[in-house]
């Protein structure tokens, strides 16, 4: 009977010791309630002892928790409907407050993140959601962190994952981006033409000082054109010839301008020359009379000569026939 009693006491003592010994991991902290009252001392990692049926130990994880926030649909400040989802990284700093001040800090953090995300959507523009996410992440972190401090939770980081837009808005943004790229391309091409024109003006100024450089440039252009397989025919035209033609034109214009004041003198000369016209008319009539008189006085010798001249012509005609 005594042995059985000792065995029962040993068994009860073993059960008591087993129920009073608790092991806390390195990343956990223990909060002890004794008769429902919170103990000020928080149990650290290792083996700890509690009083069975008197103390209640609750372990709190201090690791960083990654909580995805479901996609929230809202209207931005510029009246665009979007769906935004995010992710929150947080950890427990004070285990006692995380247990006492809030019933379930994980559920509370999830609801707080969703409401804060809706609020940040309504306060932001679409351009900020698409391009200025760093500022929105900081604002969202501040909104979540202020009530979480009372729960003993520290917000480590908040990130906006994705922004979903309607199809019509996507098409309009694509058109806007295309127009912006076209504007940039035109500005760049215009800037390039402006810089090229300045370089060409500098080159022309240098070539004007050294005319041989222009000839060398002409030969280089001919070589470049001849290197390609095409049907282009290049005829080099010397620039000096154009300069020579310009000089001749200038000299002719100078001579014409110098002769314009002396044009009044030659106008009177034709009047003086036209006065002796009747005298040569009388001489011609006398010569004609003298020329007509000899054939009337000596008509006979002229006939044989004319016949002699005419006969060979007849023979030639017969011979040809």
Residue from 60, 65, 29 nearest 156 by CA: 65
Instruction: Note the pLDDT tens digit of each residue in 30-89.
Output: 999 988 888 888 888 888 888 888 888 899 999 999 999 999 888 888 888 899 999 999
Six-digit token string for 284: 């011609």
DSSP state of 219: H
For residue 117, give the nearest of 86, 149, 80, 78 by alpha carbon.
86
Going by pLDDT thresholds of 50, 70 and 90, the confidence category of residue 281 is very low
Q: What is the pLDDT of residues 235-247, one digit of tens each?
A: 666 666 777 788 8
Specify the DSSP element, H or E, that contains 189: helix 167-209
Q: Which of 162, 158, 160 is nearest to 64 (CA)?
A: 158
**How far apart, in whole angstroms, are the C-alpha atoms of residue 144 and residue 285?**
136
- pLDDT 10s digits, 132-158: 888 889 889 999 988 898 899 999 999
Backbone angles phi, psi at 300, to 5 degrees: -70, -50
Q: Residues 176-200: pLDDT tens digits?
A: 889 999 999 999 999 999 999 988 8
Could you give the residue ranges of the DSSP H alpha helices within 210-277? Answer: 211-227, 239-259, 269-273
Residues in contact with 89: Cβ distance below 8 Å, sequence separation at least 6, in sequence order: 64, 65, 66, 67, 155, 156, 157, 158, 159
Of 151, 47, 78, the closest CA to residue 108 belongs to 151
Joined together, the tokens standing for residue 87 give: 């992710």
């Amino acid at each position: 009977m005594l042995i059985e009693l000792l065995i029962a006491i040993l068994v009860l003592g073993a059960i008591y010791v087993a129920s009073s010994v608790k092991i806390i991991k390195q990343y956990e902290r223990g909060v002890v309630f004794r008769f429902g009252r919170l103990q000020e001392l928080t149990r650290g990692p290792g083996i700890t002892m509690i009083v069975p049926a008197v103390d209640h130990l609750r372990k709190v994880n201090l690791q960083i928790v990654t909580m995805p926030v479901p996609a929230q649909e809202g209207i931005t400040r510029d009246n665009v409907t979007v769906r935004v989802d995010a992710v929150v990284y947080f950890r427990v700093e004070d285990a006692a407050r995380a247990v006492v001040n809030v019933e379930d800090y994980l559920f509370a953090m999830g609801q707080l993140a969703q409401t804060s995300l809706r609020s940040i959507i309504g306060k932001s523009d679409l351009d900020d959601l698409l391009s200025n996410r760093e500022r929105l992440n900081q604002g969202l972190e501040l909104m979540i962190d202020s009530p979480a401090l009372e729960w003993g939770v520290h917000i480590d980081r908040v990130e906006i994952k994705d922004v979903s837009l309607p199809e019509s808005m996507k098409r309009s943004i694509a058109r806007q981006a295309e127009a912006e790229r076209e504007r940039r391309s035109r500005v760049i091409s215009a800037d390039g033409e402006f810089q090229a024109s300045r370089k060409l003006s500098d080159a022309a100024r240098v070539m004007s000082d050294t005319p041989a450089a222009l000839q060398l440039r002409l030969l280089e252009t001919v070589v470049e054109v001849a290197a390609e397989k095409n049907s282009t025919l290049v005829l080099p035209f010397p620039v000096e010839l154009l300069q020579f033609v310009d000089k001749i034109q200038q000299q002719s214009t100078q001579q014409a301008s110098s002769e314009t004041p002396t044009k009044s003198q030659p106008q009177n000369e034709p009047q003086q020359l036209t006065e002796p016209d009747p005298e040569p008319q009388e001489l011609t009539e006398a010569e004609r009379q003298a020329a007509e008189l000899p054939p009337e006085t000596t008509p006979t010798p002229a006939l044989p000569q004319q016949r002699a001249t005419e006969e060979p012509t007849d023979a030639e005609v017969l011979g040809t026939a």
